[in-house]
Structure 1
Amino acid sequence: MANGFDPRATAAPHPTTIGRAGVAYHAGLRSYMLSVYNYMASGVLLTGIVALLFANSGYAAAVLGGPGILKYVIMFAPLAFVMVLSFGINRLSTGTAQLLFWAFATVMGLSMASIFLVFTGESIATTFFAVAAAFAGLSLWGYTTKKDLSAFGTFLIMGVFGLLIAMIINIFLQSSVMNLVISAIGVLVFAGLTAYDTQRIKSIYFEVAGTDMLGKTVIMGALSLYLDFVNMFTFLLNFLGNRE
């Protein structure tokens, strides 16, 4: 009974256990986040390569600029993949989720080939590296900050729906001023979502560590950050890019 109140009896083993658990936790978290970033970066790279090859093939202008149904298939196929991954991830195997992610990045490349037909190569490259630097800083802040970004994220997600509504309206209005406003707001919204999603992905690790959901969570985290990056890039390019 006396040993229960003796600091010498309890202090030695306790910190040793915590230390080992802490080291294992941080190593696991680093590996998890590194996997997320690797998938995300690889997806962006694949999209860029496919977009460039398709744009230079000579078919992009005919397909994306023509009246055929194939143009709309390419435009909306990425959304279909996102929907399948988002709503079906619990029923998919990790391998299937990985294949769907790579397929999504590929069809996204076909869809984004149009930027090479509209904007100069210099403005595309400049915008890409500017967004990459901003993304790295925002994601690092989201990873390290102690501030809870949950409420901030909810506000930003509402902003995404507002952007979608505004973009649909502008399809009919064809207002260049409204297009610039949408692009400027879009950059800010997805910049904020980059930090929010990074913190959310990090916090999810607590729930999935050691379970069979870990691999699928990596894919979904990579998809979220991919969408943040690509949308921030697209909106900034539309706002500041030089056209051909």
Structure 2
Amino acid sequence: MANWNDPRTTRPGLGASQGFTGASVPRTGEVFDAGLRKHMLSIYNYMTSGVLLTGIVAMLFAQSGMAADLFVNGGLLSWVVILAPLGFVLAMSFGANRFSRGALQAMFWGFAIAMGLSLSTVFLVYTGSSIAATFFATAGAFAGLSLFGYTTKKDLSAMGTFLVMGVIGLLIAMVVNMFLQSSGLELAISFLGVLIFAGLTAYDTQRLKREYAHLRGTEFAGKAIILGALSLYLDFINMFLFLLRFMGASRE
């Protein structure tokens, strides 16, 4: 693994360390650090654009009245819309090696739109002001947690395994509560959901940072940006949805 803190410089040829312009040759660590910053910035740009696209689509679809017609009346189409984001995630995750970077980009934007259609119900249940407040609270928490994951020297790998198991436990508990309809269990699920995806935000950020050392200069590096944005997007959206259960004010 390349060491981005490695202070050693590249070995220049005779006279290469100082050209006619007087510019010095950059250190190996400096070149790596600049590439890492560019890589992570690209991931954050994709992730932020995807979240904003989802929010705009959700708001417009709800305001148009089509969301109420689709989800209130139910039917097969409503289930297609609800399950479509999962289909995109599975296809991108398991088909990354087969798809081109352009195809993954198109799928990422398609996923963001599908999520917007699926999450339009949020605007039917909660007030706009509470949604906005929760969004900005999530954005602030996400920024702090991601910064922690990027800068910490502590290895978060073990925590990642525990958190993934927690996500599986959450899914099982949510399915069980569909039959029990327990308000206490729902509150516990929401609380644990916020904690788990907060932890995953820090873990995924560190994971993406470390992966760059192996990916830089490879053909897969461009694809990794899109897949990394998908991971952070899911962390943000899930943390937002669980937090909304605490901060959201019902329209009724």
User: CA separation in 2, counterparts of 1:215 and 1:164?
Assistant: 31
User: CA separation in 1, counterparts of 2:163 and 2:9?
Assistant: 42
Tell me what 1:40 maps to: 47
Q: Can you list the C-alpha shifts for 1:85-109, whole angstroms capped at 9, x where unaligned? A: 0100011100000000000000000
Q: CA deviation at 1:20?
A: 2.1
Q: CA deviation at 1:67?
A: 2.4
Aligned length: 231
Q: CA deviation at 1:180?
A: 1.2
Tell me what 1:30 maps to: 37
Answer yes or no: is 1:191 the counterpart of 2:198.
Answer: yes
Tell me what 2:183 maps to: 176
3-state SS, counterpart of residue 147 of structure 1: coil
3-state SS, counterpart of residue 10 of structure 2: helix
Pairing partner for 2:124 from 109, 112, 117? 117
8 Å contact 2:198–2:239 — kept in the other structure? yes
Which structure: greater helix fraction? 1
Tell me what 1:17 maps to: 10
Tell me what 1:135 maps to: 142
Identity of aligned residues (%): 63
Q: Which amino acid aligns with 1:191?
A: A
Q: Can you list the C-alpha shifts for 1:32-60, whole angstroms capped at 9, x where unaligned? A: 00000000000000000000000000110
8 Å contact 2:8–2:29 — kept in the other structure? no
TM-score by length of 1: 0.93
Q: CA deviation at 1:174?
A: 1.3
Q: CA deviation at 1:173?
A: 1.1
Tell me what 2:14 maps to: none
Tell me what 1:5 maps to: none
Pairing partner for 1:93 from 85, 100, 120? 100
8 Å contact 2:148–2:202 — kept in the other structure? yes
Tell me what 1:7 maps to: none
User: CA separation in 2, counterparts of 1:80 and 1:15?
Assistant: 46
TM-score by length of 2: 0.90
Alignment of 1:221-232 (within 5 A): 221-232=228-239
Tell me what 2:166 maps to: 159
User: CA separation in 1, counterparts of 2:80 and 2:198?
Assistant: 29
Q: Can you list the C-alpha shifts for 1:15-35, whole angstroms capped at 9, x where unaligned? A: 432852111101100000000
Q: Which amino acid aligns with 2:9?
A: T
Give the unaligned 5+ runs of structure 2.
Answer: 1-6, 12-25
User: CA separation in 2, counterparts of 1:16 and 1:172?
Assistant: 63
User: CA separation in 1, counterparts of 2:244 and 2:8?
Assistant: 52
Tell me what 2:209 maps to: 202
3-state SS, counterpart of residue 46 of structure 1: helix
Q: Which amino acid aligns with 1:17?
A: T
Answer yes or no: is 1:59 the counterpart of 2:74.
Answer: no
User: CA separation in 1, counterparts of 2:8 and 2:132?
Assistant: 51
Q: Can you list the C-alpha shifts for 1:141-174, whole angstroms capped at 9, x where unaligned? A: 0000000000001000000000000000111111
Q: Which amino acid aligns with 1:38?
A: N
Tell me what 1:72 maps to: 79
Q: CA RMSD in A?
A: 1.1
Q: Can you list the C-alpha shifts for 1:56-79, whole angstroms capped at 9, x where unaligned? A: 001101101222111111110000
Q: CA deviation at 1:177?
A: 1.6
8 Å contact 2:54–2:115 — kept in the other structure? yes
Q: Which amino acid aligns with 1:16?
A: T
Q: Can you list the C-alpha shifts for 1:218-239, whole angstroms capped at 9, x where unaligned? A: 0010000000000000000012
Q: Which runs of 4+ in 1 moved over 4 A?
A: none
